[in-house]
Amino acid sequence: MNFRDILYMSILFVLVPMWIGYFWVVSLRLRGSVNRLLHAWVLGFVTMLAIAQVLLVPLVALHQSLTTALMCWEMALTIPALASFLCLLTRSAGQEGAFRERGIRQGNRSGGLRGAAPDSGGSRVWIVIFGVLAGILILLQAYIPARYEHRDDDDSRFVSEEVSAVVHDTMYWDDPIGSDQLYWNTGEVKKDLTSPWAMYVAMCSRISGIPPAVLSHTYLPFFLILLCYALYLLIGRVLCSENWEKIFLFLIFLSVLHLWGYTSTHTLASMLLLRIWQGKAVCASFLLPLLFYLMYQVMNRRCQKGWYALLFVAATGACLLSGIGIVTGPVVLFLYGIVDFMYHRRWKKTLIIWTAALPGAVCLAYYLFG
Amino acid sequence: MITYCIAVWGEFTKFIGGRGGLAHWLMFGAALLCCILMGKSTRKKLFWPSALVLVFFFNPLFYAYVGTRFLSGVYWRLLWMLPVSFVIAFVLTELTFKVKKNIFRAAAVIAACACIILTGRREFSAETYSEKENAYEIPQAAIEISDIVMGQLWDWKESIIVPNELMCYIRQYTCAVTPLYGRNAEGFITNIEPAEASVFAEMSREEPDVELITDVAKEKGCRFIVFNTSFHRIPEDLTGYGYEQIDVVEDVYVIYRQIGQPD
């Protein structure tokens, strides 16, 4: 790891997502600094994935170069980035004050530790102890995969595709073994076209100048595992009613379950800690839990409309990651839609939830019949 | 139908890792049952979605019509839709919070963690992680061999035959050096040609048929062949086969180049 690379990766995987995600934070009227920061990071990242998916699929099909895809992606990202900037500009001190006042009046202290700690059921000392412990365990999980080496044979496809894309400025043109040109426009297998995660990594590699193998094996694990835990913290917040002592305890148990979860190479723990740089692992560890989280928000009787929009965004992002994202994304939405209907009996809402599965359904239809 | 039920069960045991993973799944089952008693919100968020996913997964009809056709070999991945660790972690959190006194609560947390640790298996161990050989996290030999070959490129790429332990890694470093066969030699995604398969079979043997390998190499335009002398027992001099030794990497990987081709 060197400082330059860490700087690039921090910008690509932390600052830019946060900047883009700020738009969602304002739209959803989220409060509290920690809450806003985590939401901005998680939602910004999934927005970047969704935008990449919308652009990459047609560009791969049209045999366009990686440079073209990268330019289109950067231009497209400026739209939500500008939206976030406008949100920042228009946010006057008066509005902020009014929000804060309203938040306190409603007893909504979904924000920082400072606000939640004293009256949320936990003593400050134990919050600090559990918080520090959770922090250590999470950092350990992010550090070890970045510091040490784990070899996975699946990389002989994914990383090779990324190397070809970066060196030859193509997208899925080369055979990942022989480097010979493929005479069709869907990659080695059809699902490469509908789930071009390798090209997403190749774009990041091109921007940062970090070779794909180094990016995948050293930097992505560190940043993606932290991102996953940011999402798990948000899930903990919802499940544990914003009691920070409980949330940190939840994260400790989660960390221990993951650290000792190597019962097979297929479990979520193995996906998270052994090969998080692969699209299917990001799908299992980040995207599906994100769909759970979004559904927890949507299943509230009074939910902001922005959460519905995010369902579409997340479902589109799931398609980018892996063929299994194309299948499981719609299935999760379908099943949670049933649960929501069981409780609220609102057809319109259920239909909206199911409609969010459309991006996956389209990709699946192409995969099966295209 | 029974065949499908057995097949689904097989997918499930493949996912959990047989008996080794049973304890955590029993924990999940117990936690899921606890969720029923934990109020409407928990049932809505954790119990019903999990129950529906389980019904979905263990449905032999779904497996028969969808699983076998479209998810062949990866049906177990549907279990990622189950929030297993979230359910266990949440229920353990709630249960430990039933203990009122802080010090006893801390003891309960330690006991719960010990339970998970004793019934699970470490994710970070010598089996899964090792010291890095380089920033690419691929064998150093793959990098050094690629660099040597890249220094002698005749065309925009060179085809190469490498020992089996390196065949997955060369292309992760460069696309200018391409193995004659890769993971597909083991039947992954695409099949390889009979001639390539015969080379792979020979390279898997301790005493490979050098003549067969060099003949196929010449036919396929492979100017470079690498043998692992700690495994392969081959004659030192391959000039009789039309290849000459040009370098040795890590004392064991001997690189041969076809004689009579321009550098």
- Window from A1-5, B28-32, B169-173 with minimum mean pLDDT: A1-5
Residues 207-226 of B with CB under 8 A from A: none
Query: Which of B172, B177, B188, B199 to probe by mutation at the A interface, max A CB count within 10 Å?
Result: B172
Task: Answer yes or no: do B80 and A324 touch at CB < 8 A.
Answer: yes
Residues sharing a CB contact under 8 Å with residue A193, sequence separation 6 or more, in sequence order:
A57, A60, A61, A172, A185, A186, A187, A366
How large a percentage of chain B has pLDDT more than 70? 98
Residues 33-62 of B with CB under 8 A from A: 42, 44-46, 48-49, 52-53, 56
Residues sharing a CB contact under 8 Å with residue A351, sequence separation 6 or more, in sequence order:
none
List chain A residues with pLDDT less than 70. 92-122, 183-188
pLDDT of residue A107: 43
Q: With residue A311 as reference, give the H or E element that holds it.
A: helix A305-321
Among residues A172, A264, A19, which one has the least CA distance to residue B120? A264
Of B196 and A36, which is predicted with more confidence?
Answer: A36
pLDDT of residue A119: 46
Structure tokens at A177: 């073994």
pLDDT of residue A188: 64
pLDDT tens track for B75-121: 999 999 999 999 999 999 999 999 888 889 889 999 999 999 999 99
Quote the crossing angle between the two packed helices A347-355 and A323-344, to the nearest 10°.
170
Task: Answer yes or no: do A218 and B80 touch at CB < 8 A.
Answer: no
User: What is the average pLDDT across B21-47?
Assistant: 93
Q: Is A179 on the interface with B (CB under 8 A)?
A: yes
Count the Cβ atoms, other than its own, within 10 Å of residue B198.
16
Taking the CA of residue B83 and the nearest CA in chain A, the distance in Å comes to 8
Structure tokens at A311: 């369902």
Contact B204, B180 (CB under 8 A): no
Report whether pLDDT(B263) > 80: no
Cα angle A181, B156, B242 (rounded to 5 degrees) comes to 110
What is the ipTM score, two decimals? 0.91
Mean pLDDT of chain B: 90
Report whether pLDDT(B70) > 90: no
pLDDT of residue A95: 57
Read off the amino acid at residue A109.
Answer: R
CA atoms of A314 and A325, how far apart (whole Å): 10
Q: Is B261 on the interface with A (CB under 8 A)?
A: no
CA atoms of A127 and A116, how far apart (whole Å): 11
Q: Is B29 on the interface with A (CB under 8 A)?
A: no
DSSP classification of residue A181: B
pLDDT tens track for B133-150: 999 999 999 999 999 999
Task: Answer yes or no: do A263 and B48 touch at CB < 8 A.
Answer: no
Per the document, the length of chain A is 370
Task: Answer yes or no: do A123 and B173 touch at CB < 8 A.
Answer: no
Taking the CA of residue A323 and the nearest CA in chain B, the distance in Å comes to 10
pLDDT of residue A125: 87
pLDDT tens track for A22-52: 999 999 999 889 999 999 999 999 999 999 9
Task: Answer yes or no: do A177 and B178 touch at CB < 8 A.
Answer: yes
User: 3-state DSSP call for residue A123?
Assistant: coil
For residue B57, the chain A residues in CB contact (below 8 A) are none
For residue A336, the chain B residues in CB contact (below 8 A) are 49
> How far is residue B108 from each of residues A110, B92, B95, B121, measured CA to CA in Å?
28, 9, 9, 21
Residues 24-53 of A with CB under 8 A from B: none
